[in-house]
Amino acid sequence: MARRISHETIYQYIWRDNASGGSLLTHLGQSSERRRKRYNAYDSRGRLADKRHITERPNSVETRRYKGHWEIGTVHGRGSNHCIVTLLERKTGFVMIGKLPNKTTASLNNKTLRLMGRDSLSFKSITADNGTEFHQYKKIEARCNAKFYFANPYHSWERGSNENVNGLIRQYLPKAESMARLTQQQCNQIADKLNRRPRKRYAYKTPEEMYYGI
């Protein structure tokens, strides 16, 4: 008996191909825009044009051979727009934490540049997720030498180091608690505690010792 494939299956295959950089979408007619709206999983709203995909990132970043390659993310509390931005250096595990009054691109960029200013020469690349707060990343690139790369949507393991440290931060900032009263000084204190915690991965050296070559 011949196997039948529905048109929904065909369209889903085409959209997956398009999301991964394929060209099948170009063979569709004018109906493609209507189809795009119908299938919510492939809605293009909120996507960022011209961003560098994680596959464009140099292989040396993946191997953690050199210092200067970072991952970035945001962590949210309960019941308010207040949140934090975290920057994690991949080779050493060193973390910086910044308090944000909201999740706008302006707030994100301002605080990220302030954190980077602490050691601006140590930023060569930054890998982010697809949150809209990173949509003005080019303004950060214009102020420094670091290039942004973006992980695949819903692939948190591609930014595993940052996701891991965000989990550690939850020990100090539980998800059920608001961050409205959190200060930058408290963020610095949390970062210091994490950076001075010995890690088995570094033969029980601390991220601080690894980062500064102590």
Q: Does residue 123 fall inside a structural domain?
A: yes
Extract the tokens encoding 24.
């099948």
Average pLDDT over residues 61-78: 95
Confidence category of residue 42, pLDDT binned at 50, 70, 90: very low
Between residues 108 and 24, the one the model is more confident about: 108
Same domain, 58 and 32: no
Confidence category of residue 199, pLDDT binned at 50, 70, 90: very high
Average pLDDT over residues 137-155: 94
Domain count, the chain: 2
Bridge partners of 98? Answer: 85
Q: Does residue 48 fall inside a structural domain?
A: no
Residue percentage of the chain with pLDDT more than 90: 73
Confidence category of residue 43, pLDDT binned at 50, 70, 90: very low
Same domain, 203 and 165: yes
Say how many C-beta atoms besides its own lie within 10 A of residue 81's C-beta.
Answer: 14
Q: What is the model's pTM?
A: 0.77
- Cβ atoms of 80 and 180 closer than 8 Å: yes
> What is the Cβ-side half-sphere exposure of residue 23, based on CA atoms within 13 angstroms?
0
Question: Which residue is associated with the tokens 């934090």?
Answer: 84
Same domain, 60 and 18: no
What is the structure's pLDDT at 80? 84
- Cβ atoms of 8 and 35 closer than 8 Å: no
- Is 41's pLDDT higher than 50? no
Confidence category of residue 50, pLDDT binned at 50, 70, 90: confident
Tell me which residue range forms the domain holding 191: 54-212
User: What CATH number is associated with residue 186?
Assistant: 3.30.420.10
Say how many C-beta atoms besides its own lie within 10 A of residue 173's C-beta.
Answer: 20
